[in-house]
Amino acid sequence: MITLNQLASSTASLLKEPFNHELKERLIDSYKQYIALRIRHSVERHGIDELLKLNYVEEIQVLDNDDDEVQAFFDIYDTYTEEEIEEFKFLTRNRVFEPVRIQNESPFTFVGTVDRSISFPYRSRSHNKFSHSLFSTGDQVSYCMDNGRILLQCHDIDKLILVPEIEIEAIFYESEKVVTLFDNEDGLDRAIPLPHDVITGITHEMLQKEFGIISPYNLEVKVNEGKKSIQ
């Protein structure tokens, strides 16, 4: 399988600009968008391909009304009143990676406990307030999005305190960042999990839409020497 760096380099060479670093960065960004769009269309037609799913673990932090982090989960009851705890926010410590937008009830394919024994359903904040009156869902841990982070919701605080971290699974827009989350690299040299014919189709589509090139096999690129841009 080919990598994003290899794709950008080969396409830049095709465009007769093999040493143009700015062009390569532009190509990498474009490939990410076209790959995400192709995956989205494929999911809508054929369902989710398990090979495209990635998962990682994210820590949950507890914030008070002033967005200050409170102490360790199991020490909360020793320091705060029950009324104060009910106002706490149980959020992922970091912003989560952006998933590819697909037609699904939730933005992720799985959010739940690290051992995957419990899956948390996605509910908007307004829906969560309504579910407080429902016996079947009022005491169930669910989640919503809060400024790019996952916010856990439950009217039973004891259940929230028992979730110090969660597993997140999805088809991610920048999958290379998920794969190399704990590595000292940018992930651009990791293989793209798509077959060769799909990558070729993406390249043809991008060259046509971004550079007006109908066929890369008979390519003649005119370069404006003053601005160093593709004409």
pLDDT at site 134: 47
Task: Round to whole Å and give the CA distance between 51 and 28.
Answer: 22
Q: Which domain holds residue 75?
A: 54-170
Q: Is the same domain home to 225 and 146?
A: no
- Which of 181, 113, 183 lies closest to 152 in space, CA to CA? 113
Kindly state the tokens that stand for 170. Answer: 């999805």
Report pLDDT for 112.
96
Contact by Cβ (8 Å): 193, 51: yes
**pLDDT confidence of residue 169:** 95
Q: Is residue 139 part of a domain?
A: yes
Say whether both 78 and 160 belong to one domain: yes
Give the chain's largest Cα–Cα span: 73
* pLDDT at 230 (0 to 100): 42
The 10s digit of each residue's pLDDT in 101-144 is: 887 778 899 999 999 999 999 987 665 554 444 444 557 899 99
Q: Are residues 60 and 165 in the same domain?
A: yes
Residue 179 domain-assigned?
A: no
pTM: 0.71
R_g (Cα) of the chain, nearest Å: 23
Query: Is 180 a domain residue?
Result: no
127 and 209 in a single domain? The answer is no
pLDDT single digits (tens) 198-230: 888 889 999 889 888 876 655 544 434 444 444
Q: Which of 38-47, 71-80, 159-168 has the highest mean pLDDT?
A: 159-168
Residue 17 CB coordination number (10 Å): 19
Residue at 159 is within a domain:
yes
- Taking CA atoms, 140 is separated from 119, 162, 202, in Å, by 10, 13, 42
pLDDT at 60 over 90: yes
165-170, strands of its sheet edge to edge: 110-112, 165-170, 54-63, 89-92, 149-153, 142-146
The answer to the question of residue 176 being in a domain is: no
Who wins on pLDDT, 68 or 144? Answer: 144
Average pLDDT (58-63) is 92
> How confident is the model over 170-181, as a mean pLDDT?
79
Confidence of residue 22 (pLDDT cuts 50, 70, 90): very high
CA distance 127 to 7: 44
101 and 205 belong to one structural domain: no
Q: At what angle do helices 4-14 and 196-211 cross, to 10 degrees?
A: 50
Residue burial 33-58, b: 16+ Cβ < 10 Å; e: rest: ebbbebbbebbeeeeeeeebbbbbeb
Asked whether residue 92 falls in the same domain as residue 160, the answer is yes
Which pLDDT value is given to residue 138? 55
Cα–Cα dist 63/57, whole Å: 19
**Distance from C-alpha of 225 to C-alpha of 208, rounded to nearest angstrom:** 22
Judge if 62 and 27 occupy the same domain.
no
How many structural domains does the chain have? 2
Same domain, 38 and 83: no
Cross-strand pairs, 170: 54
- Which pair of structure tokens corresponds to residue 15? 């465009």
Do 20 and 13 touch, CB atoms closer than 8 A? no
The answer to whether residue 192 is domain-embedded is yes
More confident residue, 48 or 184: 48
In a domain, 162, yes or no: yes
In a domain, residue 175? The reply is no
